[in-house]
Amino acid sequence: MDFPEGLKYTEDHEWVLVENDIATIGITDFAQDQLGDVVFVELPEVGDTVEVGKTFGVVESVKAVSDVYAPVSGEVVEVNEELPDEPEALNNSPYEAGWMAKIKLTDTAALDGLMDVVAYQEFVAKD
């Protein structure tokens, strides 16, 4: 299982990469492994406003349908346009080709509540 350093993680198994005031978000390797083969992805629209803890997307696999929750608040400035046509990218490359959305942060306070790689590894070890 892959746990890249330099990312922040949520208890709902999303990852966040912050560069300046833009947060790139996706689901973790652990999440995609639990879901199985991803067959459908629903993404937000560019220009949408997202709030911490609120649903901003959906991932459907052969096993389940799961909501994806926003780990930060802000405006969607970019979505991974290829993901709806290639949902398997979430399985094959959750941290690179499988990113879901880029959010322009309106408040960085939510970042303080996210886990670093060590805390996330300990968290998933309990599952």
> Do the domain assignments include residue 55?
yes
Please state the pTM of the whole predicted model. Answer: 0.94
Tally of domains within the chain: 1
What pLDDT shows up at residue 108? 87
> Do the domain assignments include residue 126?
no
The total of other beta-carbon atoms located within 10 Å of residue 108's CB is 13
Please check the confidence at residue 127 and state whether its pLDDT lies above 80. no
> Do the domain assignments include residue 2?
no
Full domain range(s) for residue 84? 8-120
What pLDDT shows up at residue 126? 86
Model confidence pLDDT, tens digit, residues 88-104: 999 999 999 999 999 99
| CATH code for the domain in which residue 112 is found | 2.40.50.100
Model confidence pLDDT, tens digit, residues 52-86: 999 999 999 999 999 999 999 999 999 999 999 99
The per-residue DSSP string of 83-99 comes to TTT-TTHHHH-TTTTT-
- Mean pLDDT over the full length of the chain: 95
> Do the domain assignments include residue 125?
no
Q: Tell me the C-alpha distance between 109 and 112, whole Å.
A: 6
